[in-house]
């Protein structure tokens, strides 16, 4: 368990770099080295929540040739199936998935976050273990979709989303970003949409069961499984919702500053983050769908929090940084203790 705490402390120390170093060559070198460290940490691991599940997928594809990609008994997307077949080695596949993910995701953080190391600190609590070292297919799909979401009106948007869908079909939900604008909505609009999400949580379950039957077989199979497995389980006003609501409220309070300093992307990322709150609450009657659907938009928190810190006053910035560093630590502890059987002890085949 100590290794996980050490990684958090390293990222915490690195996050202080954002307050003292200009984003020059030295900064970029430190950021690249940090990415290489995360790659060694995640890419060579032999543990995680879905590690053995992915091993079974690999074994089911192994030796079958390219024709296995579209076999009906292989319930994974063709891009991921093709990668397994081409690499031909399970540990190699885990490393390549981590490498591609970091290669796509970390430059995005570097470009769009005003404090990239603080973004990495928040990332450690939210998606390092659940995504990069867990749900690797969806994690890669999200990384691709993030680049698409920056330009929802661009022709490449649909191409990137289609590419992401070859690794996780749920990427289709990202088309909702096309409904957003690059300015803040009025407060009453956010409130009305939020109330609609709450109503959906309470009333939409039976309607959704009927709707699922008209989806493509692959999606229907997965959703029917979740409906059966999670029957009677719902997400309500929990800790995750409170943190998101608190963060969104801060982003709205600082709307003038964010719009002024980050005119092109700031309000857009805040609106995307609001979608995470809506998806998580609105589909709360089906927790897996709520968590996985909201995940695409929840990544915006990794940009919204640094933007809030960047535009806040010196008096407020330090307490807010401590608060979000505490959130990251709490999320690390929650993830690693809840799923301790998958992560403790940490194992890495480089050192075995």
What pLDDT digit, counting tens, does each position of 204-242 carry?
Answer: 666 666 666 666 666 666 666 565 555 555 555 678 889
Split at pLDDT 50, 70, 90, the class of 24 is confident
Nearest CA to 278 among 191, 166, 188, 345? 191
Cα dist from 228 to 52, 193, 267, whole Å: 23, 28, 38
Mean pLDDT (whole number) for 320-324? 97
Q: By the 8 A CB rule, do 64 and 71 touch?
A: yes
Domain residue spans of the chain: 1-134+331-352, 180-312
pLDDT for the residue 309: 98
Q: Mean pLDDT, to the nearest integer, of 51-58?
A: 91
Say whether pLDDT at 41 is over 60: yes
For 226, counting Cβ atoms within 10 Å of its Cβ (0-12 exposed, 13-18 middle, 19+ buried), the class is middle
The more confidently predicted of residues 60 and 31 is 31
pLDDT band for position 302 (cuts 50, 70, 90): very high
3-class DSSP state for residue 98? helix
| Residue 333 confidence (pLDDT) above 90 | yes
Give whichever of 2-16, 18-32, 219-233 has the largest mean pLDDT. 2-16
**What is the C-alpha to C-alpha distance for residues 111 and 123, in angstroms, rounded to an integer?**
16
Region 25-49 average pLDDT: 95
pLDDT score of 228:
57
How confident is residue 263, by pLDDT bands cut at 50, 70 and 90? very high
Q: Which of 44-48, 111-115, 207-211 has the lowest mean pLDDT?
A: 207-211
Token output for 229: 């497995």
pLDDT digits (tens, 9 = 90+) for 143-157: 999 999 999 989 899
CA distances from 35 to 8, 41, 91, 102 (A): 14, 10, 19, 7
Cβ atoms 308, 330 nearer than 8 A: no
Query: Residues of 245-268 as b/e, b for ≥16 C-beta within 10 angstroms?
Result: eebbebbeebbebbbeebeebbbb
- What's the whole-number mean pLDDT along residues 39-59? 93
According to the model, what pLDDT value does residue 200 have? 78
| pLDDT for res 230 | 54
Range in 60-64, 136-140, 261-265, 306-310 with the lowest mean pLDDT: 60-64
SS (H, E, C) 297-325: HHCCHHHHHHHHHHHCCHHHHHHHHHHHH
For 225-291, the DSSP string reads: HHHHHTTT----S-HHHHHHHHHHHHHHHTHHHHHHHSTTTHHHHHHHHHHHHHHHHHTTTSHHHHH
For helices 266-282 and 287-298, what crossing angle results, to 10°?
180
Residue 348: strand, helix, or coil: strand
pLDDT exceeds cutoff 70 at 55: yes
d(CA 282, CA 135): 22
Tokens of 37: 């460290």
Between 307 and 224, name the one with better pLDDT. Answer: 307
């Amino acid at each position: 368990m100590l290794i996980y705490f050490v990684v958090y402390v390293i990222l915490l120390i690195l996050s202080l770099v954002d307050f003292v170093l200009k984003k020059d060559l030295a900064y970029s070198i430190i950021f690249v080295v940090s990415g290489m460290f995360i790659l060694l940490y995640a890419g060579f691991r032999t543990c995680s929540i879905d590690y053995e599940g992915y091993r079974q997928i690999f074994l089911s594809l192994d030796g079958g040739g390219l024709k296995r990609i579209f076999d009906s008994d292989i319930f994974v997307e063709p891009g991921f199936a093709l990668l397994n077949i081409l690499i031909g080695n399970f540990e190699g596949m885990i490393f390549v998935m981590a490498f591609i993910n970091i290669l796509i995701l970390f430059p995005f953080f570097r470009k769009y976050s005003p404090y990239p190391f603080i973004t990495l600190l928040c990332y450690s609590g939210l998606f390092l273990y659940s995504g990069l070292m867990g749900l690797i297919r969806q994690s890669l799909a999200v990384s691709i979709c993030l680049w698409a979401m920056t330009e929802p009106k661009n022709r490449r948007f649909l191409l990137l989303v289609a590419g992401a869908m070859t690794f996780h079909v749920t990427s289709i939900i990202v088309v909702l970003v096309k409904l957003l604008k690059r300015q803040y909505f009025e407060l009453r609009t956010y409130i009305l949409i939020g109330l609609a999400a709450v109503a959906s949580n309470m009333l939409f379950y039976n309607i959704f069961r009927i709707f699922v039957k008209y989806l493509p077989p692959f999606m229907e199979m997965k959703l029917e499984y979740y409906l059966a497995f999670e029957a009677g389980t719902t997400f309500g006003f929990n800790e995750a919702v409170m943190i998101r609501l608190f963060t969104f409220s801060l982003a709205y309070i600082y709307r003038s500053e964010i719009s002024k300093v980050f005119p092109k992307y700031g309000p857009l990322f805040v609106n995307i983050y609001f979608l995470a709150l809506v998806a998580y609450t609105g589909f709360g009657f089906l927790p897996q769908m709520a968590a996985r659907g909201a995940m695409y938009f929840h990544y915006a928190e990794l940009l919204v929090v640094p933007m809030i810190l960047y535009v806040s006053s010196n008096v407020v910035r330090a307490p807010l940084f401590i608060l979000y560093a505490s959130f990251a630590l709490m999320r690390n502890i929650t993830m690693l203790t809840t799923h301790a059987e998958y992560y403790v002890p940490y194992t890495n085949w480089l050192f075995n």
